[in-house]
Structure 1
Amino acid sequence: MGTDIAGGVEIRPHGPGSPWRLADVGLDALPRHYDAFGLLFGVRNYAGFEPVAPGRGVPDDAGADLRALLADGEHDHTWATWAQLASVDWSAQAPRVDDRIHEYELTSQGPRFVGKAGHHGRAWREVAGEHADHRGSSYPEGTEWRAGDRMWRVERLTHGDVLRADPQLRALLDRMRELAERYGDDNVRLVVWFDS
């Protein structure tokens, strides 16, 4: 079973001390993107990022509209202000390599990214050896295995890799930036939780 994100963007239109209101910014378009979940909130953090805002819970001063969205069975409630999200260094690397081994198809135009996963099946096992560890973090960065038109590689992600792979997240951050220009960096926040 996978993990999905839910929540909302809150604003304080009248500044500190005023109540938080749910902005008209939905999270429905956000895909199941574990690298984004890991980088921002520490959830499904296979890439080994130092998360921006892990495990903070629901803000004590969350608005009634946001609280109405909460349901049973959710976990890892947390939040981050625009000021915190705006300070992310998108060129920074994760402190360690990705737990998932990245798979490429070798083409005449060069390697084409296929995906990444914790288990790579029989083809990878035949190349890496029956007792090979399926976790990328068990091997030095840059370790490669090749067979036929496939290559498996141990890699380290950057924060920018998350944005390049997730246009919906970029759009959400752009919308939050616009709200922050109007209301102030500390008066816009993203409140999220997860469902598995």
Structure 2
Amino acid sequence: MGTDIAGGVESRPHGPGTPWHLADVDLSALPRHYDAFGLLFGVRNYAGFAPVAPGRGLPDDASPELRGLQPGDGEHDHTWVSWAELARIDWDARAPRVDDRIHEYRLTGEGLLAGGKAAHHGADWRAAAGDHADPRGSSYPEGTEWRAGDRIWRVERLTNGHVLRDDPELRALLDTMRDLAGRYGGENVRLTVWFDS
């Protein structure tokens, strides 16, 4: 079973001490993107990022409209992050450790073509790595590599910037939050989320 994100962007147009209001921003467009979940909130953090805002809970002053978005009791990992915190992310910073998932590539005439990253790669990887190989990338030094024909599996460490390159919907959400922060201030715009597995 996978994990999905829900929640909303809130703003305080009149500043600290005034009520939060749910902005007209649709989070349903956000895909199931575990690297973004891991970097921002520490959820499904296979890449080993130092999360920005893990486990803070639902804010006590959450807007009634945001509270009304919660469908039931199955959600978990409620948390929030302000635009001011998001604006301080160093997108060039590398994760503190290598990715738990081994990255797969295909060698083509134009170079390496990314094929994905996963914890299990099947019989081809097992034949290249050995029957007793550990499928967790974090079990190996960065740069460890296996080859079979035109396929390459590699242990890698991601940068924070990988998240934005792989998730245009998240980039669009952050652009919207930046615009709101330009009007109301970075501490008066926040993303409040929860997850469903």
TM-score, normalized by length of structure 1? 0.99
Establish whether residue 155 from structure 1 lines up as the match of residue 167 from structure 2: no
Moved over 6 A (4+): none
Establish whether residue 14 from structure 1 lines up as the match of residue 14 from structure 2: yes
**Which residue matches 2:138?**
137
Paired letter, 1:124? W
What is the CA–CA distance in structure 2 between the aligned matches of 1:140 and 1:85, rounded to whole Å? 30
Question: Where in structure 2 are the equivalents of 1:41-80 lying within 5 Å?
Answer: 41-70=41-70, 71-80=72-81
**Which residue matches 1:190?**
191
- Shift in Å at residue 72 of structure 1? 1.7
Question: Where in structure 2 are the equivalents of 1:40-119 lying within 5 Å?
Answer: 40-70=40-70, 71-119=72-120
Instruction: Output one character per residue of 1:9-66: Cα deviation in whole Å (capped at 9) or x when no partner.
Output: 0000110000000000110110000000000000000000000000000001001000
Instruction: Output one character per residue of 1:104-162: Cα deviation in whole Å (capped at 9) or x when no partner.
Output: 01111111000000011000000100000000000000000000110000000000010
What residue ranges of structure 1 are gaps of 5+ in the alignment?
Answer: none
What is the CA–CA distance in structure 1 between the aligned matches of 2:4 and 2:82, rounded to whole Å? 21
What is the CA–CA distance in structure 1 between the aligned matches of 2:182 and 2:11, rounded to whole Å? 12
Match of 1:75, SS state, is: strand
What is the CA–CA distance in structure 2 between the aligned matches of 1:128 and 1:85, rounded to whole Å? 39
- Identity between Structure 1 and Structure 2 (%): 77
What is the CA–CA distance in structure 1 between the aligned matches of 2:4 and 2:67, rounded to whole Å? 18
What is the CA–CA distance in structure 2 between the aligned matches of 1:51 and 1:159, rounded to whole Å? 10
Match of 1:46, SS state, is: coil
What is the CA–CA distance in structure 1 between the aligned matches of 2:131 and 2:90, rounded to whole Å? 39
**Which residue matches 1:170?**
171
Paired letter, 2:101? R
**Which residue matches 2:30?**
30
**Which residue matches 1:128?**
129
Give aligned pairs, total.
196
Decide which moves more: 63-72 or 129-138. Answer: 63-72
- Shift in Å at residue 179 of structure 1? 0.1
**Which residue matches 2:5?**
5
What residue ranges of structure 2 are gaps of 5+ in the alignment?
Answer: none
